Structures are given as structure tokens and as C-alpha cells.
Structure 1
Amino acid sequence: MSTVKVRAIVTTGYGTNCEREMAHAVKIGGADRVDIVHLSDILDGSISLKDYQFLNLPGGFLDGDNLGAAQAGAHRLKYAKIKGKEKRLIDEILEFIERGGLILGICNGFQLLVKTGLLPGINGDYTTRLVSLTYNDSGRFEDRWVTLKANPNSPCVFTRGIEYLEVPVRHGEGKFVTLNQDVLKTLESQNHIVFQYVDPKLGEPTQEYPLNPNGSELAIAGITDSTGRIFGLMPHPEAFTHRTNHPRWTRMDLPEEGAGVQIFRNAVSYLRQS
């Protein structure tokens, strides 16, 4: 049996509001230690990513979504220097990736990953911004449950063994778009696409609203980098950790543990084996 102790960090501050849900999901997923840490504590040097293997970026409204969702937060990650060190926060994150750490960004956390350029990370490029998340086609905040289909050919370590997943979305800027068609084709051909919104009756990706709640290109709900160790998605698996979270739990025969936990179990399992 592996003796690796999995230490996870969940960031908070500047407008995040899903950190407790995410920390709870990571703990249920099997992590030995889960710390909720304010980003300012990393920036002032009192907390270091070197002490963790699993970085979680939760949902919320970073900086009030000023300039666009997570845009101001992305500038903080890219340009803010860590006190007492001649390096930026993004440099510490890049070192974290190089050491083999896992990064999960959900909703606002996903927006943060794409706007810093950490995703899609094509061929190991974590600095070039190639994709974004913009306003939903509906023109309003979407709060509903959706069905996702996982790409079995994706290298994503978080979705192993998952075929379909039903979880909620709650966002106003969740439409996945790419810089151009070449980027979209690369994401598809290199299996960076992890989850797509699907019609639950047909089990296939759809552009039909509200099954695709935001109008994302190719119905993309989540993507990974080339290594499969960085994963971002708009829907909220951390919001489905118990059967009573499901809106139809009284009418369905559901297991006690919510299906969203598997995302976190997979992450912890990967780290124990690495």
C-alpha cells in the first residue's frame, strides 16, 4: 500500500465563494490534508506551494468579475511578486507543475486557468492565451443541472473511469471559445477536450439550449493540458458529493456518495501512485 501523504491546497480570497465545498470534496476524495489558504498568504511568502501536491482553484467571482470573469485575477497571478522572492506567483505555479503537481480549476477557477494561459497548455506552453470563457448565449446567469460526456481518449487523470457525469452549472460567463479554428482543431485532435455537454437521451454532444447552457464551441465543458494533470471545467463536481445534492434524489435510486466525488478520488489516487 502506498505511504504517500496527499496534501491539497484550496485557494480563497478576492471573491471566491466555493472554497469550503471544494475542500470538503477533496477531503471525501481521500486527501490526507486539505488547507484553505488565502491567496495573499501565498503572495506574502507565509505559505508555499512546495508543501502541496494538489492545487484547487474554486468557483466564485474573483474581483467582482471586473474586466471579465477572472481577468483581474489572472493579472494578479501573472504579475504579482511573492514577498521576499524575485519571482511571481505564476513562477511558483509553473514550478509546481514541473514537480508533477495536479491543478483543478472549477468555474471561476477554470476561467482563471484559461486567462493566465495555463490551459490548454498545448505542447507544454503554459503562457500563451489561446482560449477563453465569455458571456452565455442566453445573456443571463445559468443555474441548472447538466449532463457531461467524458472523452475516453483524454490524458486527464481526473476523469479516469468516468463515462457520463451529471452535475450543476452556475455561471454567467461559461461559453468556451477559441482564438481561431486551428486552435479548436488542435484541442480536438490532441484530446485536450475532456468533457462536453450532451443530450442525456442521446448521449451525444449538443449545441441545443439549455442542454448546452452557454453555447460553448463543440459543447466543450472542460479541457486539460498535454500532461492531463491540469484540468478546468465550468460545471461543479464539488456540488455533488452526496445523493441529497441531486434535485431528484427523492425519485431516484442514487448511491450515498455523489458522483462528483470521483473527480477528486481520481486525483488523490494518481498522486498516491506517482
Structure 2
Amino acid sequence: MPPVFRFAPSPNGHLHLGHAYSALLNHDLARQTGGRLLLRIEDIDATRCRPEFEAAVYEDLAWLGIGWETPVRRQSEHFAAYGAAIDRLTAQGLVYPSFESRADIARLVADREAGGAWPRDPDGAPLYPGTAKSLAQTERERLIGQGAPFALRLDMAAACAHAGLLRWREQDDGPAGETGDMVARPEAWGDVILARKETPTSYHLSVVIDDALQGVTDVVRGADLFWSTSVHRLLQELLGLPVPTYRHHRLIRDTAGQKLSKSTQATALRALRADGASPADVRRLVSL
């Protein structure tokens, strides 16, 4: 079977040079290996994702000369699949609701840091400091029945005990020069959120479900997601999903050495095109 690659942007802004590099790299690898290239629209954030940005994704990729298979998978159309996965994890006793607001969590972290350092995840965010895991089931049901906002979290300790030692195959140099067989460290992320009351899935959950359902064999994405692979491997193991090969490519940075963001208009593909850049110019800018 030919390898299957995917490019999966979120339509919450215009694509920039970093997106162009990832999309072109996936496109080139698919062509070199006789593989397939899929496009997935990761639009679970209804407050930030907009139709005009999704339309711009198609326009920018077509301008770059990138083709993809249709139909395009849009995550907002598949909440039922993500909900079914949460149900499976809940049945294993691995999911619990937490009811603290973001402000509540910030105060809890501040209280704990007053007594010393509080652990943080690989992205630098503090681990969940609450005690919702110890709430009685009757109290959880009471709060949910009252309409209290909540997040569904993975009981990381229980999940790791259930899954055991996990690895993945890394085909490129990770942030610290890693390559080959990687040992997953999902515990470094604490009790990650799998869904919220208002958003019935999370990036971590939806991406592993989508990769499995779409038959993705090769995940080629930015090095900023290298450490997230530990959580993805854990979810794959818990849900009995196939494991792709991973390749975490270098990031395209601005002149100050910072990772590009969608608010950096100078590197937006639409701005470059308006200034007269060609697709070949973009390839040169990202060293392809």
C-alpha cells in the first residue's frame, strides 16, 4: 500500500511560510514515494475558525501547486466519532470531569507555587492542579445537572498504568536531535483535557482519531508538536489505533528567531503573493 500523508491546518487565520513549508514537504514526500496526500481542516474551535479562512487555505495551497484528495475531512463534521472515543475511555475508568474555570486554575497554580515550583508540561503550561478526580460521582452528577461548565480530563496516572511503556518511530531529528525509536513520556503532560462542555473534543483526541480513520501512515509536522506525540501514542494504545511513523520537521522562524504565527502578516502567503512573490520564491524562502 502507498504511504498516506496529510496536511491539517486550522482555519483561524491565513497560512504563512511555516504552513507553506509543512504543506510543500508533505506534498513532495507523497510524490517521491508514490503516496497520497490528504487535506484535513481542523476546525473544532468554533469561536476562531471562520469560513473565509478555510476558503483561503484552498486558494493558497492551489497557488503553491499542491493538490489533494477529496473529499476534505472537516473535524467539525465528525464530533460523533470523537464522542464515541471518549465513551470508550470513560468505560475504562480513565476520564473524569473537572469544574474549575481557567481563572480558578490560575489561582490554584499561584497558591501551589507560593510553596515552591509547580510542574509544567513540555509547552510550559502548569499541570492541572485541581482535585476533581477525587469528587464523588454523586457530586459530579449534581454539578453537571446544574449546568456547570466542565472539562473532561484523562486520568494520566491510570492511563499510563494501563498502557505501559510506549514508543514511536521518529524519522527526522527532534528538537534535541532525537531520531529512531522514541520512548513516549505522556506523564509529563498531566491530566490533559480531552473535551469541554462547549467543545466536544480536543486537538490531542481528534488528531489521533482522524489519522486512524483516514489511514494516515506518515505524520509529517512541525517540531513544536514533537512532545505531543507522547500523548498521541498513549491515546492510540488506549483506543487500539494504528501507529503512524512520525517526522517532526524544522520550524520556519522570523528574523528574531521566533516561531511564525498567523498574526505575522509579513509572512502570510497572501501578503507575499500580493507583493509579487511566486510559488518558486516561496520554495526558496523555506529552503526547499
TM-score by length of 1: 0.28
- Flag the structure with higher strand content: 1
Highest RCO, 1 vs 2 (Cα 8 Å, sep ≥ 6)? 2
TM-score by length of 2: 0.27
- Flag the structure with higher helix content: 2
